[in-house]
Structure 1
Amino acid sequence: MITAHTVFNETAALLVLGAALGFVGQWLRQPLIVAFIVAGIVAGPDVLGVVSSAVHVQVLGELGVAVLLFLVGLKLDPGLLRTLGPVALVTGSAQVLLTALAGAGVALALGMPVRTAAIIGLALTFSSTIIVIKLLWDKGEVDSLHGRLALGLLIAQDLLVVVLMGLLAGLRGESQGGLWQALVGGLVLLATVLLFTRYLAQGLLARMARSPELLVTFAVAWAALLAGLADALGLGKELGGLLAGVSLASTPFREALASRLASVRDFLLLFFFVSLGASLDFGALQGSLWPAIGLSAFVLIGKPLIVLPILGLAGYGRRTAFMASLTLAQISEFSLILLALATQAGLADPATQALVTLVGLVSIGASTYLVTYSGAIYAFVEPLLARVMGDQARRHAPSEAPPPADVILFGLGRYGTAIAEGLRSRGLSVLGVDFDPEMVARWRARGLPAYYGDAADPDFGKSLPLGGAQWVVCAIPVHGGSLTHDDPRLALVDALRNSGYRQQIAVAIQAQEDLPALRGRDIDLVLLPMADAAAEAVDLITGAPLVAPRRWS
């Protein structure tokens, strides 16, 4: 006898549906997150009813969240956390307060009772750590200043939401000591992680690294363990997964772990986004269309507009502030948990919970596009921002004036560093520029001049000593490889030429297919790292030059 609904069959159906809609989304050039959420809606009980019990989907999705935050933790620099932490806590608290008040005002204007409006205002305040980090990771911007600033704000939000959840649990009457348990448990968990990092992490991973499979298994198990412990203490799985990654960030195995776990993360996160779509209850949304549109508009537009001036007052440049604020244009899974607790405590009803769930799905889907095309959006609104917001950034990372140099090099990764060493051996002075503060710190620790900067910022070139530079070399290792309309390499070339720089520019690309995109720009030299290395190898073997440099005027 054939059983239609089994866990295996349901999981297989979800994978096929996710792959099919993901392919359609890719063909339509839409973000995969949106395709996977749509897959969840289609698979949910109100459409196909593929999933009769979402427990296994939810478990796999939560494991994906733990792995995602683990990988983020692997990349965190403790020094940067000490720098951004206090700022993020202050600005995050201000953002939560102002957004909650504004959100409650919008709900009141939509005709909701005062108590319901207050609960909705709080729920709309918080943004999704998982969604934001996934989007930034896909764009290769986790290490940028605005990416790390957004992460700091999200962590501050998560800490504040723990307090609110404890208070709501107390009102529900089931957990009077929930808040104190979370605070004490958090301190114990943090102390445990610090001791593990100090005394066990390096030696344990050195032994496990002899077997790559065991290393990956341990990493996933460690992330799941700390996520489970943090969740049991009322801190949320996200914080536990993040701490698991931080505990291994100082070991020499973090790059190997990051590369091996990337595909595991992407596979498991499919289930998280599918479960989000499947959770939408269409039956509870009768008459909620206009309130959902109004609240979604507030989340997508109002929240960034609230965060933007706060970050500007905190000392961040307008581009950094804009890009960080735009990432917060959605609500969090914690928002849904807050609504569930409020409903259980008698402060909200199921219709309000369904309304906020719909706002969550709309804002998550729309914010995916906002973050994906944030560069183009900033270019469009920058003239207006320049009129109302100054750009005297005090927090652009280490900020002394950059020294003059013969060559200004963007991108301080392995390829950029190799270029710099070769140029220095020829007697040329090199100023390194990168949007990763950790890379800047590493260069400075070696005694090399380095400066923090974002190549995609059209105003950044004004702060550089372009007058004495013979060359500007762009060796940015852009995530995804191929050139796009808002690629930082193209933005850098345009900004340099528009600012009056008339000396020579070199740009590194990943493939020959990107050459046509550069022909319309004033570039003097194109670098193809892999092809150039192969050509040099052939030269060494045969003793004769194989190809000429790719120059055009």
Structure 2
Amino acid sequence: MELIWISAAYLTGLLASRLSFPPLVGYLAAGYALNALGVAPLADLNHIAEIGIELLLFSVGLKLKPASLIRREVVSVGGAHLLMTTLISALVFFWLEQHITGGLVLGVSLAFSSTVLAIKVLEDNGELSSLHGRDVMSILILQDIVAIGLLAVAERKQPTQWALALFLLPLLRPLAHRILAASRSSELLLLLGVTLALAGGVAAENSGISADIGALLTGVMLANHTKINELTDRLWGLKELFLVAFFLQIGVSDLPSQEQVFQALQLLALLPVQGALFFGLFLFAGLRARTAFVSTLALTTYSEFALITTRAVVDAKLLPAEWNAVISLAVAGSLAIAAPLNRYSHVLFSWFEPFLVRFEKKTGNPDRLPESFGVAEWLVIGMGRTGVSAYQALSAQEQRVVGLDADPTVLENLLAEGRRVVYGDAEDSELWSGLRLERMKGIVITVPDVETRLLAIAQLRKRGFKGQIGTLCYHYEEEQELKRVGADYVIHPLVEAGNQLAKHMLGVGN
């Protein structure tokens, strides 16, 4: 039985990827197809899915900066969206004069966005640490916190007095960091990560709140440790495998009838309204149209949380049982629609940019772009370890250099060290169209995503930039493509490391 489910997930995921869809679309289809064929679901499929979500939220917590939850755009956009949706839901179900309590709970839960999809898309695109990625993630966390109370209403349960104690977990950081430092082997590091994620989930469930919140807070407890990147890398493959079960189990519920399919399609037709509301609120908060657009696409889905609340209100006899199938199909449909849209979010924005930028505020943008690089003659795009090394090498040669990065935390740390850095996203076409680059002798591009490197180089050459462009490639087939769009120097980091190591050793030998 396990072979059937795993094989079906692989084949449909492969087909989806061949059709330029994310594999998760195939996993959703596999769940419905196996259900329609009468294949019995795996006994522990739901439990495996829950573990996958906990590992995902734990990984997010490792990179989360709690202060990001207090950002103006997070509170104003996330809070206003929930309040407005609650008001609309209350009016609609009051007008219908039936199932008011269950309908209201369900209506509010449909205002929540899919945490799994949004974070997975941001992670796959390398945007989890970007400004819009942090805003999206923080709004999702805000929604999850509100969801705790909503689920208590739906299930008529209340968190225990120990629930607030979970928010003290980050105070155990010194002890957790010692344990993490002592886990030197890869196997122990992986086991520690899984243990802490599940421990946080169990503690949260015993306190009467969502296990996801407990896993998230446990991740926050470990944040900022030097081994975080290594721990995240170890968890990545395991987390992805367990998340396959989450997408499969959506299709395991009862197959919808023709009438229920029509109701689900009506709910899907309301998604653009939710998206328009998010977009308007982001603009009102002062974000640029591009940031608002890509953030909106990530949030314009129905949440997996709606599946949980629907079961709760149906079990409480507050809604008819057929709503389980309707909401399952609506959630699955929203994920299938949103996944490819998010994959091409930057391309889509470039199509609609002339129209959308008319609505943005012209001043006070927290994501404003630099107007110039001053007297700098060298630009380093992507201030990770490689970018910082390039910055330091140029500075050591007394060159005027400036760094550019889309991660607010990276910028904050580098500015504190006295480095000259500015905010900017290399995928943002507006960044290049408004900058004066005449002073620039050369640009070093070290961002990890090859598509971003290709786009940035193409934009620079399109702007008429005549200086040198140097970048990285991790696969030999990327080198020709990078040079084709305009790169002058392309190096393979691992190959270069081997060459330098050999040269140093030969020099020592002589």
TM-score greater than 0.5 by the shorter chain: yes
- 2:5 is equivalent to residue 14 of structure 1: yes
Change in Cα spacing, 1:30 to 1:87, as seen in structure 2 (3 Å) is: closer
Rounded to whole Å, the distance in 1 between the matches of 2:17 and 2:221 is: 36
1:41 match? 32
Distance 1:464 1:305, change over 3 A: same
1:389 partner letter: E
Q: Does 1:231 align with 2:205?
A: yes
Q: Secondary structure at the match of 1:505?
A: strand
2:60 equivalent in structure 1? 72
Q: Deviations over 1:163-196 (max 9, x none)?
A: 22223334xxxx3xx1xx36x43321112x1331
Across the aligned residues of Structure 1 and Structure 2, the Cα RMSD in angstroms comes to: 2.9
Alpha-carbon offset, residue 430 of structure 1: 1.2
Shift of 1:503: 3.2
2:472 corresponds to: 508
1:93-114 deviations in Å (ceiling 9; x for gaps): 11123344557789999x9968
Deviates more, 1:288-297 or 1:398-407: 398-407
Aligned to 1:356: 327
User: Aligned partners of 2:97 and 2:444: how far apart in 1?
Assistant: 57
Report the counterpart of residue 332 of structure 1 in structure 2. Answer: 303
Residues 1:393 and 1:358: Cα distance change in structure 2 (over 3 Å):
farther
Residue 36 of structure 1: how far off its partner (Å): 1.5
Alignment of 1:370-385 (within 5 A): 370-385=341-356
- Superposition deviation, residue 148 in structure 1: 0.9
Q: Does 2:369 align with 1:394?
A: no
Conserved in 2, the CA contact under 8 Å of 1:408 and 1:469?
Answer: yes
- TM-superposed CA distance for 1:507, in Å, is 3.2
- What amino acid is aligned across from residue 437 of structure 1 in structure 2? P
From the superposition, tell whether residues 434 and 449 of structure 1 become closer, same or farther in structure 2 (CA, over 3 Å).
same
User: Are the aligned partners of 1:106 and 1:295 in contact in 2 as well (CA < 8 Å)?
Assistant: no
> Secondary structure in 1 aligned to 2:82?
helix
Please give the alpha-carbon distance, in whole angstroms, between the structure 1 residues aligned to 2:173 and 2:487: 47
Residue 165 (structure 1) aligned with residue 140 (structure 2): no
Relative to structure 1, is the Cα distance of residues 515 and 194 closer, same or farther in structure 2, using a 3 angstrom cutoff? closer
Of residues 234, 239, 260, the one that matches 1:288 is: 260
**What's the counterpart of residue 93 of structure 1?**
79
* 2:485 partner SS: coil
1:436-460: CA deviation from partner (whole Å, max 9, x where unpaired): 1222123222211111211111112
The residue type equivalent to 1:20 in the other structure is L
1:82 Cα deviation after fit: 5.4
**AA partner of residue 24 (structure 1):** L
Q: What is the CA–CA distance in structure 2 between the aligned matches of 1:390 and 1:495, rounded to whole Å? A: 25
Change (3 A) 1:388 1:27: same
Partner of 2:170: 194
Q: CA 1:87 to 1:385, structure 2 compared with 1: closer, same or farther past 3 Å? A: closer
Could you say if the C-alpha distance between residues 506 and 99 of structure 1 is closer, same or farther in structure 2, counting changes exceeding 3 Å? farther
Give me the whole-angstrom Cα distance separating, in 2, the residues matched to 1:476 and 1:210. 28
| Map of 1:437 onto structure 2 | 408
Displacement of 1:384 in angstroms is 1.4
Q: Which residue of 2 aligns with 1:347?
A: 318
Q: In 2, distance between residues paired with 1:455 and 1:107? A: 46
After superposition, what is the alpha-carbon deviation per residue over 1:345-392, rounded to whole angstroms, capped at 9, x for unaligned?
333211233212110010011111111111111111112102233454
Q: Are the structure 2 counterparts of residues 112 and 369 from structure 1 closer, same or farther at C-alpha, using a change threshold of 3 Å?
A: farther
SS of the aligned residue for 1:36 comes to helix
Pairwise CA distance, 1:305: 1.2
Change over 3 Å in CA distance of 1:108–1:288 after alignment to 2: farther
CA contact (8 A) 1:508 1:526 kept: yes
Shift of 1:286: 3.4
Amino acid paired to 1:529: P
Q: How many angstroms apart in 1 are the aligned matches of 2:84 and 2:341?
A: 22
In the alignment, what sits opposite 2:291? 320
Instruction: Indicate the SS of the match to 2:402.
Output: strand
Q: 1:298 aligns with which of 251, 270, 284?
A: 270
CA distance in 1, matches of 2:431, 2:344: 20
- Kindly state the Cα deviation for residue 125 of structure 1 after the two structures are TM-superposed: 0.5
CA distance in 2 between counterparts of 1:432 and 1:251 reads 24
Query: 2:93 & 2:379 partners in 1: Cα distance?
Result: 51
CA distance in 2, matches of 1:242, 1:398: 32
Whether the aligned pair in 1 keeps the contact of 2:103 and 2:319 (CA below 8 Å) is no
1:525 paired with 2:489, answer: yes
Q: Give the Cα–Cα distance (whole angstroms) in 2 for the partners of residues 211 and 540 of structure 1.
A: 29
Q: In 1, distance between residues paired with 2:504 and 2:312?
A: 69
Identity %: 28
Q: Could you tell me how far apart the structure 1 residues matched to 2:358 and 2:268 are? A: 27
CA distance in 1, matches of 2:116, 2:77: 20
Separation in structure 2 between the aligned mates of residue 253 and residue 516 of structure 1, nearest angstrom: 35
Q: Structure 2 CA distance, aligned partners of 1:397 and 1:438?
A: 16
Q: Which amino acid aligns with 2:452?
A: P
**Equivalent position to 1:152, from 133, 138, 141:** 138
SS of 1:288's equivalent in the other structure is helix
Unaligned residue ranges in structure 2 (runs of 5+): none
Closer/same/farther in 2, CA of residues 492 and 269 from structure 1, 3 Å limit: same
Task: Provide the TM-score with structure 2 as the length reference.
Answer: 0.90
Residue 397 of structure 1 and its aligned partner are, at CA, apart by: 8.3
Does residue 196 of structure 2 align to residue 222 of structure 1? yes
State the TM-score, normalizing by the size of structure 1.
Answer: 0.84
Residue 398 and residue 235 in structure 1: after superposition, are their counterparts in 2 closer, same or farther (change >3 A)?
farther
* Larger mean Cα displacement after TM superposition, 61-70 or 507-516: 507-516
Unaligned runs of 5+ in 1: 1-9, 544-553
Residue aligning to 1:133: 119
Partners of 1:108 and 1:516 lie apart in 2 by 62
CA displacement at 1:534 relative to structure 2: 4.6
Q: Distance in 1 between matches of 2:364 and 2:291?
A: 9
Q: For 1:465-486, what per-residue CA distance to the aligned partner results, in whole angstroms no more than 9, with x for missing partners?
A: 63422222211111xxxx4xxx
What residue is the counterpart of 2:20 in the other structure? 29
Give the 3 Å change call, closer, same or farther, for CA 43–265 of structure 1 in structure 2: same
CA distance in 2, matches of 1:25, 1:247: 37
When residues 15 and 501 of structure 1 are mapped into structure 2, their CA distance, relative to the original with a 3 A threshold, is same
Residue 16 of structure 1 aligns to a residue in which SS?
helix
SS in 2 for 1:526: strand
Query: 2 CA distance for matches of 1:59 and 1:391?
Result: 49
Give the counterpart letter for 1:212 in structure 2: S
Offset at residue 325 of structure 1 (A)? 1.1
The answer for the alignment partner of 1:428 in structure 2 is 399
SS of the counterpart of 2:325?
helix
